[in-house]
Chain A
């Protein structure tokens, strides 16, 4: 496909909802006009992390003002579980309390305020036990939520033991709260004959539909789940949205009235899963140039009390522990640690970022040991010809990292700035600077194979307007716009003629979550196929009616060119109706060529890789540990962009979110297993002033994705988050300057406290 011939795809069109966003007229679920009688639901939570429910006295709750009903496990007609697959996630705690904040009951009242206040009146007795809270506690207990999993190539432990040069280390990688601005919300509206429509802020309407049906003990077909847009998702509304939908639906079933459940921010932060934190232990052998010979890696991921989607997350941490580097020999062992805390879940990158922290730490550590520029060590370890097989057996065939890094190295003036920084650090007593240029490579596909499919439903109306329905959900990432651009391109019409709709399980059934960065890859392709079907019928008719040469028929600028004459797209659409030609079609796409087999660690796990690199410069204050990011340069590969403005937004936003994860965002649990940082007052995501004043983002001049994706574009949702690793490495570099040759002891997040501790470690005697 020649990009020059494209009318709509590739254009920096503004987000379809932008004007609604800025004028406050975009509807989120809490903004939908409430039918008369709408009730409000609030959850009653466990104040204990682990124990057995002894008694639940809800009398005072029931008699509180405005209370209509109080729900608990015994009110569920179907199954008391909202797990995405493995089970173990009760909607209401029945006997066992598994984490602090677990839902025990729910209050249904005439106002949200009344419902919330009534929850506080419950008298609940729990026989408490000492919870396992930290990942270390879980390791010690030996309990896991899923079986271990290992990648092995060669005898890595043996090679490391016999090696002349080896390094080892431990790093703790912190978790992360999603902090989507819109908290979890569901609104259930009952219909006739036990049907129900559930509006839910979810990345996975189909799963919500199915779980609501199962909770109510009804067929899937009796439930519709709809999501127009989310106020942010980031993975936090993949599996975590369902519980509130199930409870709202149950409230509606019990009362016969519409019921809405919107979580309070603090409750949301306590009761929903977060990014997995990891304890990573590693050793590696290498040659005198810093080329890695073997790695031995233990990835301990804290999953919380249940499996949720931890299988894929911990797998992906393994998949990405190579980042962009070739490990000739390896042992990558993953343990899925169980703790008595909230069940950790999907979060942008899905384990990949945690794996990459290891790879980047190893490179930084090797550089210190050898007294070299870490970028030189990184380059020596890049995948290259003959050194191109990943730890999971897939060959890297579309590698552009060497060229991409070379371009960024030049455009960011990395070498010169590194020299300037060395000079600055020699003179500066209190402030130290650091710089780092880090690559990223991220595999695109769900590693759970059956999720790699999507459906679409396209309607053309007789006035030439078009409606697109697809299985993907909009959380701000511009998916709907990209899909609309694809469909507009197909019909040669302006994108404004394509009506974007809410995602609904009654339009497109049996969909997979909008996750794994796959939204536009899957839904763009499915929608293109649907549009192609209709277009073919339109072409057939035009050829017949106007005796036009099929090859000469072009859809362009709202017109249909028929060789020597042209008619408008609308006229042809209307003609189709008159001539009884169907103007509606479904499209379906299943990602081809994926052959991954988990059991045998073989086959092709990813359709392609997305690449990028970033260069960050920071200054730290060695008296306080405070840190400031001074400049960031990013070069990122999106293949042939469907919409460069949307893609740049994903890159910058992902970077800043990753920067927060690695610096100021700290989840603190007390020894009783209670999350202390359960509000924005104590959990600190980046603000405007944390973003570097000098922030340069560019798209890599790609010839297009080598894989046959939608218009040769590449997925962009998750990969950029990991670009922030250069901030962490730059802090490491600044610390290293305090005592050259010594390896700083810095975990993530690099809060002022963590940085000051590392400063003190550098100043302490010994290496």
Chain B
């Protein structure tokens, strides 16, 4: 049984499309098919936010709206969801409260980024969260503005948002939730032909069966990476298997000693549980991409794509995470670090799927630290991501687990440095110096547009020093510009 039309909600009306290109983006649908031109294309790669739209879906029994980048979201991905664009919020006679505030605070100049910013603030307006500065910054992390310098936008957010929503949408939440509930079905979505299709199976079994049958299909989760293959590399991806409708695929199972995150869980879904393992792990997640990217991108996808600069893998490797993979009817579990074989090569057979990652919680003698280095704090790709997990006996390091991103062709452990630190007392500067030197044996980083090899090597060593200093002294106010642990603990 399968359904061969994509169904979603627009302004309270169910839209059903049987003609959906396997690679068609939501933005192209809005601008070219609906001619709803309020939403703009600024970059076509999910980095500027001019294309931001709000997507409503039922999560844990509640209707929630999240911002996403429509330029790299495929049309098929919004099956079963409510789509709200700037065109839908209000007109000039009856502006939405966030629109009104944007006008009153002089928060638009050229206006091209404004529709995306309005949507980001609209979603914050409905989140129930506060509009304090730090939070607004976080919700706007995916919206570039080149004109205003942002100050009036932040002021507009503060004046319009107080955690309580009272707009046209508020009045129809229950009805929308009801319709979306009715739209959820147990059928697989399959649009297209055997040679060219967008498929979104409803169960893990059907997805495994489909991907075994089409080992050449691209497995698509949030499309924050694959979307760019289409819009930037102009690759033709005839077969897409989307994980977004698979029942239970985004579940998170939190237990006393470990956390299991199924591969379809987005960064935002997983943020709080990862934060609960350690604030630094939460900060790594908060610094990945932007809010819209984290609303789409998945922890599983960040692992499965095998990027040498993915931020999750180094952090999860030092925590001793295990990766679950399934192929047709078989299941296996491997240490996460063993998944990354070489550049662009992972331990994954065609048709095999990454299905979950399991992360042990820290023991009482274990100390975790992670640092992301990039040119810009928000929405940037790491030049170096450093993660550390030290097991201490008093102030002696019994075991050290150290891994870096951006230092090699894969996320990689610093085995020589780890060995150099075993048995070392915190504060033993001479021994730490040896460990820092050992990093030059572990890595031969490269120079690219993000950083030079020299900088990467230098900062990798400095971050090891910083982590050890912090664990010894316990204070991060004097060691960090942001994400102070004291504030979180």
Contacts and interface: CB of A to CB of B under 8 A. Distances in A.
B109 A33 contact: no
Interface string A732-751: 00000000000000000001
Interface string A416-431: 0000000000001111
B43 interface: yes
B151 A232 contact: no
Contacts of B154: 688, 691
Contact of A21 (B114, B146, B450, B481): B114
Contact of A656 (B31, B138, B150): B150
Contacts of A690: 376-378
A691 B137 CA distance: 9
Contact of B465 (A117, A182, A183, A623): A623
Interface stretch (B74-82, B87-95, B251-259, B272-280): B87-95
Contacts of A666: 375, 449
A623 B466 contact: yes
A627 B42 CA distance: 28
B428 to A, nearest CB: 18
Interface string B446-489: 00111110010011001101100100000000111110000000
B319 interface: no
Interface in B104-126: 104, 106, 108-115, 118
A26 interface: yes
A617 B256 CA distance: 45
Contacts of A476: 108-111, 147
B162 interface: no
A265 B44 contact: yes
A23 B38 contact: yes
A117 B235 CA distance: 9
Contacts of B145: 181, 688
A688 B137 contact: yes
Given A623-B463, A689-B378, A756-B455, A14 B104 contact: yes
Contacts of B106: 12, 14-15, 18, 645-646, 648-649
B12 to A, nearest CB: 19
B234 A753 contact: no
Interface string A264-293: 111000000000000000000000000000
A233 B87 CA distance: 25
Contacts of B48: 181, 265, 680
A676 B28 CA distance: 27
Contacts of A689: 134, 137-138, 141, 377-378
A31 interface: yes
Contact of B478 (A120, A183, A430): A430
Nearest to B98: A22
Contacts of B102: 18, 21-22
A752 interface: yes
B150 A691 contact: yes
Contacts of A561: none
Nearest to B101: A22
Contacts, number: 264
Contacts of A751: 375
Given A621-B481, A691-B150, A684 B376 contact: yes
A652 B144 contact: no
B40 interface: yes
B91 A25 contact: yes
Contact of A623 (B95, B448, B462): B462
Nearest to B373: A624
Interface string B66-86: 000000000000000000011
A231 B133 contact: no
B103 A14 contact: yes
A179 interface: yes
A653 B108 CA distance: 11
Given A18-B108, A179-B146, A680 B152 contact: no
A148 to B, nearest CB: 32
Nearest to B24: A113
B393 to A, nearest CB: 27
A28 B481 contact: no
Nearest to B140: A688
Majority-rule SS of A interface residues: loop
A679 interface: yes
B381 interface: yes
Majority-rule SS of B interface residues: loop
Interface residues of A, number: 89
B298 interface: no
Nearest to A677: B449
A20 interface: yes
Given A181-B42, A430-B466, A693-B133, A24 B375 contact: no
A369 interface: no
B143 interface: yes
Interface in A675-701: 676-677, 679-682, 684-691, 693, 695, 697
A478 interface: yes
B387 interface: no
Contacts of A323: none
B141 A652 contact: no
Contacts of B92: 19-20, 23, 25
Interface in B219-239: 232, 234
B37 A31 contact: yes
Contacts of B373: 624, 626, 752
A428 B377 CA distance: 22
B80 to A, nearest CB: 25
Interface string A209-225: 00000000000000000
B47 interface: yes
B45 A680 contact: yes
B35 interface: yes
B455 A679 contact: no
A23 B144 contact: no
B109 A649 contact: yes
Interface string A100-138: 000000000000010011001000000000000000000
A520 B272 CA distance: 51
* Residue of B109, B234, B381 ringed by the most chain A CB atoms within 10 A: B109
Contacts of B42: 181-183, 265
A230 interface: yes
Contacts of A648: 106
Contacts of A657: 146, 149
Given A430-B466, A621-B481, A680-B144, A656 B149 contact: yes
Contacts of B284: none
A668 interface: yes
A28 B40 contact: yes
Nearest to A753: B455
A120 to B, nearest CB: 6
B463 to A, nearest CB: 7
A624 B459 contact: yes
A664 interface: yes
Nearest to B384: A624
B39 interface: yes
Interface string B8-44: 0000000000000000000010010001011111111
Contacts of A645: 106
A231 B466 contact: no
Given A25-B91, A687-B377, 12 more contacts: A15-B106, A22-B99, A22-B102, A24-B38, A264-B232, A623-B459, A623-B466, A679-B232, A681-B47, A686-B150, A687-B376, A691-B154
Interface of A: 12, 14-15, 17-28, 30-31, 33, 113, 116-117, 120, 178-183, 229-234, 264-266, 428-431, 475-478, 619, 621, 623-628, 645-646, 648-649, 652-657, 664, 666, 668, 676-677, 679-682, 684-691, 693, 695, 697, 751-753, 756-757, 760
14 contacts: A22-B114, A23-B90, A23-B91, A181-B112, A181-B144, A231-B111, A264-B232, A475-B110, A477-B109, A624-B371, A624-B459, A624-B463, A681-B45, A682-B381
Q: Which 10 A-B pairs have the closest CB atoms?
A: A24-B38, A476-B110, A231-B112, A21-B111, A476-B109, A656-B149, A24-B86, A680-B47, A676-B449, A652-B149
